[in-house]
Structure 1
C-alpha cells in the first residue's frame, strides 16, 4: 500500500458515497466530496442521512481536523469503518498476502485479524479480511490494498447474529493528484 496515496480521513480529492445500515435505525446514505484548497488543507462537503437525522456540512481545514470534527457526530461509527480498514495493523508488515494473520492485544480476550481472500470490485483487487474476538467474527471488510479504500464492511455483535452496521461503497470518483 502506498502511504502517500492511501485514503485516510479526507486526504484524497474526489467524491465517495456509501449506502449505510445500522440495526435499529435502518438504511441511509453517507457521502463526501474532497477538494484540495492548499498543500495542507481541504474543503469537504459531507452528507449523512440515517433515519430522521440529516447532517449536511461543508468544512475546511487540514484532513485531520475535518476528520476529528466529523467523528464527533452520529456518523462516527460509519466514518471509523470507512477510515480505519482492517488492513491497518498490517501497514508495517510489508506486502500483504492471503493468509496473513496478526494476534492483537485486547482487553476482552483473544483478538486477531486475518486476510482471508481477494475479490475484485470494479477493476480494483481488494482483500477480504476478518476480525475475530475469542474466535467469534466481529467484523469483516473488503479493502483495496493500493488505496486503503473500504468497499464494503460489516460489523457483528459479540453474541453473533444479524449485523449491527454495514457500509457499501456505491460511488467512487477519486482522483490521484500527480506531483509535477
Structure 2
C-alpha cells in the first residue's frame, strides 16, 4: 500500500531525510513555519539552504529536503507544504494538521498515512502528535541510535514506530 508521510520541519533536516529514506513514502507533506526565517526554506528554497552544523560552524550546505530525497515531480509545494504563521500556537498548528489528515483520509483511501514528529518546534511536534493520535494514524519518531546530544538529533539516527495503544 502506498504511503503518505507528514513531517514537521525545524532547524535540523537530517532526521527528516532519515525518516523519508526509512519509511519510503510515495508522498511527503511538510509542515513548516512561514516567514522570512521560517523552516519552509529547507523545503522550497533554491540553492543549498540546509546546513550541517558543528556547534555554530556550518560544515556543509546541502539542497532542500525534496531535492536531497529525490522527490522530483512527486513534490508539489501548493499541495504538499502546510505553512503555519506561528509555530508556537498549538491551536493553529493542530487545526491545520488535523484538517490535512482528515482530507487525506477522505481522498487518499488507497494510502497508508504516517506521521513523523521529530522536527519543528515543540508546539508544532505536539500538534502533529495530537492530530495523529486523534485521527488514528501511525506515528513515528526519528532518534539517534545512541543519544549523546540532548539538544537535537544528529547523524546516525533511526526511525521507529511509536506505541500509541494507550489511546484505546
Q: Do Structure 1 and Structure 2 share a fold, with TM-score over 0.5? A: no
Bigger helix fraction = 2
Q: What TM-score, normalized to structure 1?
A: 0.29
The structure with more radius of gyration: 1
Bigger strand fraction = 1
